[in-house]
Structure 1
Amino acid sequence: MKRSVLLILLTLFTFQIHAQENDTEEEPKDYSANVLTLDSTIKSLYSVISGEKDVERDWELFKFLFRKDAKLIAAGKNKEGELQVQYMKPADYIKNSGKWLVENGFFEKEINRVTDKFGNMAHVFSTYESFFSEDDEKPFMRGINSIQLFYDGKRWWIVNIYWQQESKKHTIPETYLN
């Protein structure tokens, strides 16, 4: 009998400790406001990858922006100078770029947007400038993000981002500047 009472008390004590541990765990952040509108979704995309040197990015928010099976597609030249595209999942982007963004500082700022919508889909040509710090006066790079989005009736999802940096050969047309 004593053994049963002791076992019950030990079990209750264990459950109480576990309940207290769960009370101190941080609740998942609610990112729903970040994706209610097309504008808030695009602004969240730029803000989540931007930050000063040594400032961690909110990768949970970054992943929240993307639909399952979404792709990030970088266009450019490889080491041999050949044109290519590189396909990444959001997790690949975090793995490939996350450390660099924090170590170097990086701000990508939208300077112009051209949006086309039909039904539940949208295509955004978003012209950007890139800086190492918020205090930098001149960008070290410019380009265009071609962003495809899907609205499911509740929120916007990024389906794909396909981007290309500006080069001497391919300057950004006036149509996509202010």
Structure 2
Amino acid sequence: MQQSTQPDTAPQWWQDTQDIPTIVRAIYECISGPAGVPRDWARFRYLQHPQARSLRTVVDDGGGTHAVVFDVDGYIADVTPYFAANGFFEVEIDQRVERFGQVAHVWSRYEARESPDSPVIKRGANSIQLCFEHGRWWVFSTVWDNERDGVAFELW
């Protein structure tokens, strides 16, 4: 599926896709907000390639892990009930970008809070893969894991 270049109706969204730090910041803005306030899913979808995937690492009761993989609409369906009941503000605290031609990989460390001024409820890292196509950056995949016993940032 090909998407058009600059849209007529959302010039700010187009600006979100013109450089790597801006598209990453836009992702965090889309998923952050107070409990019960709908997120800007139209903007979120605009940032994602039509075939984009997300992968969340889940820790089982026994301490093992497994991956849960979503397409864009699957991710939205999964997190919407949580966001309806809970405030969630995820902010980037560190970023490392590696780029080769039209492909980029971003390590984005984050902290999450229930409100902008509340204590940190979790930290983790997003691995975000991007591709520059049709005059803009697209998110192709996002893989993340949260900090926990035995899992912390090693090389930065």
Is the counterpart of residue 168 in structure 1 residue 149 in structure 2?
yes
Q: CA deviation at 1:111?
A: 0.2
1:173 CA drift (Å): 2.5
Which letter maps to 2:153?
I
**Which residue of structure 1 aligns with residue 133 of structure 2?**
152
Query: Normalising by the residue count of structure 1, what TM-score does the alignment of the two structures yield?
Result: 0.78
Identity %: 29
The answer to whether residue 120 in structure 2 is matched with residue 133 in structure 1 is no
Query: What letter matches 1:47 in structure 2?
Result: E
Q: How many Å apart are 1:60 and its aligned residue?
A: 0.3
C-alpha deviation, 1:56, in angstroms: 1.4
Q: Radius of gyration: which is bigger?
A: 1
Task: Give the structure 1 partner of residue 94 of structure 2.
Answer: 112
Match of 1:100 in 2: 82
Which segments of 5 or more consecutive residues in structure 1 lack a partner in the other structure? 1-26
Q: Is the 8 A contact 1:53 1:133 kept in 2?
A: no
SS in 1 for 2:97: strand
Q: Answer whether contact 1:59 1:94 (CA < 8 A) is retained.
A: yes
2: CA distance, partners of 1:82 / 1:170: 12
1:140 counterpart SS class: strand
Q: Quote the residue 2:106 is aligned against.
A: 124
Structure number having the greater strand percentage: 2
* Runs of 4+ with >3 A deviation: 27-30
CA deviations 1:146-176 (Å, max 9, x no partner) are: 000000151100000000000111112262x
TM-score (norm 2): 0.89
Q: How far off its partner does 1:78 sit?
A: 2.8
Change (3 A) 1:164 1:39: same
Q: Which amino acid aligns with 2:20?
A: L
- After superposition, give the CA deviation of every residue in 1:4-35 in whole Å (9 maximum; x if it has no partner): xxxxxxxxxxxxxxxxxxxxxxx954421111
